Amino acid sequence: MRRVLTIIICFLIAAVFSCRKEIPFNAEITTPKLVVNSLFASDSTWAVHVSRSLSVIDQGSLDNIENATVVISDASGAVVETLTYDGYGNYVGTQSPQVGQLYRVDVAAPNYVPVYGSDVVPNAVNVQSLDTMSNTVGEEDLLTVQIVFKDPPGVRNYYRFAVEMGYWEIFEDFSGGIDSTYYEEQMWILLNDPSFEGSGNNSWRDSGIMTDLLFDGQTKTVDIPVSNWFYEFLDIRIEFVDVYFSNVSESSHYYNRSFQLYQETQGNPFAQPVQVFSNITNGFGIFGGTYTEIHRVN
pLDDT digits (tens, 9 = 90+) for 229-250: 655 667 888 899 999 999 999 9
Q: Tell me if 89 is assigned to some domain.
A: yes
Q: Are residues 94 and 132 in the same domain?
A: no
Q: Are residues 70 and 168 in the same domain?
A: no
Q: How much is the average pLDDT of 211-216?
A: 96
Q: What is the pLDDT of residues 84-143, one digit of tens each?
A: 999 999 999 999 999 999 999 999 999 999 999 999 999 999 999 999 888 776 667 788
The C-alpha atoms of residue 83 and residue 228 are separated, in whole angstroms, by 42
Q: What is the pLDDT of residues 151-202, one digit of tens each?
A: 999 999 999 999 999 989 888 888 888 899 999 999 999 998 999 987 556 7
* Greater pLDDT, 46 or 274: 46
Q: Are residues 157 and 81 in the same domain?
A: no
Q: Are residues 138 and 235 in the same domain?
A: yes
Sequence-distant (6+) residues with CB within 8 A of 20 are none
Q: Are residues 62 and 101 in the same domain?
A: yes
State which H helix or E strand residue 150 sits in.
strand 140-150
Identity of the residue numbered 33: K
Q: Are residues 150 and 210 in the same domain?
A: yes
Which CATH number belongs to the domain containing residue 200 in this structure?
A: 2.60.40
| Mean pLDDT computed over every residue of the chain | 86
Domain range holding 142?
126-248
Q: Tell me if 81 is assigned to some domain.
A: yes
| CA 105 to the chain's CA centroid | 19
Q: Which of 220, 214, 286, 219 is nearest to 248 (CA)?
A: 286
Q: Tell me if 5 is assigned to some domain.
A: no
Q: Are residues 115 and 135 in the same domain?
A: no
CA distances from 213 to 55, 149, 150, 252, 256 (A): 37, 15, 14, 17, 17
Q: Tell me if residue 4 falls in helix, strand or coil.
A: helix
Q: How much is the average pLDDT of 254-279?
A: 83
State which H helix or E strand residue 263 sits in.
helix 250-265
CA distances from 217 to 48, 213, 214, 234, 246 (A): 34, 10, 10, 43, 17
Q: Tell me if 52 is assigned to some domain.
A: yes
Q: Are residues 50 and 101 in the same domain?
A: yes
Q: Tell me if 259 is assigned to some domain.
A: no
| Boundary-marking domain end, from 91, 120, 149 | 120
The domain total for the chain is: 2
pLDDT of residue 223: 94
| Boundary-marking domain end, from 95, 120, 145 | 120
The half-sphere exposure of 87 on its side-chain side, counting CA atoms within 13 A, is 0
Q: What is the pLDDT of residues 77-88, one digit of tens each?
A: 999 999 999 999
